[in-house]
Chain A
Amino acid sequence: MQYVNTWRAVVAATGRADRGAAEDGVRLAYRAAGLTEPERIIWADSPRAAVEVVEKLTEAGRSVREEVRTRPWAEERRRVYDELGPAGWSALWSATGAQLWETTAALAERIRAGVVSELATRPEDESGIRLVLLDAVLGQHDAAWLAAFDGRGDRLTGLAEVARNAGWWWPYEHAVVIVERPEALHRDEAGRLDRGDGPALAYPDGFALYAWRGMPVPAEFLDGLASLTPDRIRAEENAELRRVMLEYYGYDRYLTESGAEPVHRDETGILWRIAMAGDEDVVMVEVVNSTPEPDGTHRTYWLRVPPRTRTAKEGVAWTFGLDGEAYAPVRQT
C-alpha cells in the first residue's frame, strides 16, 4: 500500500523533469535489456512535440520498446506470478496496480487523443500518428504496473527511475526522445481531469487538455461558463456540454431561476425534474449531508439519477445500486 501511494504521487507529479536522473534511468534500462546505451537523448516539452521529433528522427534505428520495456515487464510478471500463484498474483495486483490503473489509463488515452487531434490535419494522418504513439513508454503514466513490481527485484529499476523523473519516452536503437512532465494537472476526487477556469493538463510548450469532471471540452467553452444564463443552458444543443453547464452553474441556482418544482419529498431528500427539449429529463435528488460542516450548517448536494426515478428514496437507493424498498440505513454520517 505504501508503494501504491508513492506511485500515485508519481502519476500526479508536475514540474520540470530531473533530466540527469531520468537519463541515468534510460541508460540503466538499456543496459538491463542487454542493449548498448543510446547515443543521443533528445528532450521534448510535450508528447505532441515528441511525436513531431520522432517523425523527423534520422538514423535512430528501430524501436526497442519491446526489449526495454515490454519483455522485462512480462518476465517480471511471469516470475512474480510463479512465485505467488494465481490467487497471490491477483491479490497483489488488486492491492497495487489495479488501484491506479483506471484513472491512469484514462489519462494516457486522453493525451493520445489530444496529440492525434492536434497533429492530424487530415483524417488519413491519424493512423501514422497513432503508430508513433504506440512506440512510447509512458514514464510516470506506467505507474500502475511499476507499483505492482516495486520492492520485488531490480530488473525494472531503470524504467522506474525514468518514471519517477520524467514523462513519456521513445526508445530507439541509437536515440531516445523523452518528454518533460506536465506543468499543471488538475483532477477531481475521482481522479478525472477537471478544471473550470483553464487547462486541466498543460505541458510547458502549451499542449493542453481541457476537461470538466473528466469530460473533454473545448478551451473556448470554459470561457463562456462564467457568463451562463438559464436561457443559454436551455439553448445549448449538445447534451453533454449542457450537462457541464448545469453542473458549473449549479443545479440549485438553475432550479431556483428556472422555476422548477420539486416532484417528490420524503425522509431521504427531495426529487427534482427539469424537462429538457429534445433530450431526456434531468432528474436529481437533493440530499442533505448528515455530518454538519464546521460552522454547524449541513451541506446540501445534488445527485443526478435515472429519468425513470419517481421518489427521492428510490433515487438515493439507486445511487447505491439498490431498490427503493431495500435502502434503509440505521445510521448515517
Chain B
Amino acid sequence: MYRQGDVLMMALEESEVPAHFLEAPGEPRDGRGRLVLALGEVTGHAHAVRGPGRLLREAGPFGPMLLHLPEGGRVVHEEHAAIALPKGWFRVVRQREYAPGAVRIVAD
C-alpha cells in the first residue's frame, strides 16, 4: 500500500484482478505521454506515471481504477515526492471527505 497525497495505491495479486481487466485496452495517455491517476481541475497538477503500464478505469467518481505496471514505475506529482511502485497490479483510490448527507472527493 502506497500513498501520494490524496491518492492511495493498493497492491493486488493478479488473481484478484477481475478477468475483464486483464486484456482490456488501457486509458489513453495524456499529451505528455503519462498515465494520469488523478488530475487537479484548476492547477492541472497530476498524480501520474510515466513508462510502461496501463490504467483501467470504470465510470464513477471513486473508481475503481486499476493500474498495471509490468516493470514497476514511479508516481510523480508537482507537489509530492515521487513514489516508486514495484511491478504488478494496483487498485488506485482517491481520498474522500465526509459531508453530512454526501461524500466529497478531496482535492489536494
- A139→B87 CA distance, assembly (Å): 44
Residue of B with least CB distance to A1: B30
Q: Which of B42, B43, B81, B96 contacts A321, CB < 8 Å?
A: B96
Taking a contact as CB atoms under 8 Å apart, the answer to whether A188 and B42 are in contact is: yes
Q: Contact check, B93 vs A321: say whether CB atoms are below 8 A apart.
A: yes
Cβ of B42 and Cβ of A327 under 8 Å apart? no
Q: Which of A95, A191, A213, A243 contacts B100 (CB 8 A)?
A: A243
Residues in chain A near residue B28, CB distance under 8 A: 1, 95
- B19 within 8 A of partner (CB): no
Give the residues in chain A near B17, CB-CB below 8 Å. none
Task: Report the interface size for chain B: residues with CB under 8 A from the other chain.
Answer: 41
Known contacts A191-B41, A333-B4; A304/B108 CB under 8 A: no
* Contact between chains at A190 and B105 (CB < 8 Å): yes
The A309-333 residues at the B interface (CB cut-off 8 A) are 318-321, 327-333
How far apart sit A303 and B103, CA to CA, in the bound complex (Å)?
Answer: 12
- Interface flags for A9-44 (1: CB within 8 Å of B; 0: not) read 000000000000000000000000000000000000
Chain A residues within 8 Å of B99, by CB: 243, 304
Interface residues of B (CB under 8 A from A): 1-5, 8, 24-25, 27-31, 36, 40-43, 57-59, 61-62, 79-84, 93, 95-100, 104-108
Tell me the A residues contacting B by CB distance below 8 Å. 1-2, 5, 8, 87, 91, 94-95, 98, 102-103, 187-191, 213-214, 239-240, 243, 279-280, 283, 289-291, 303-306, 318-321, 327-333
5 A–B contacts, CB within 8 A, in A order: A94-B59, A243-B100, A303-B98, A321-B93, A329-B3
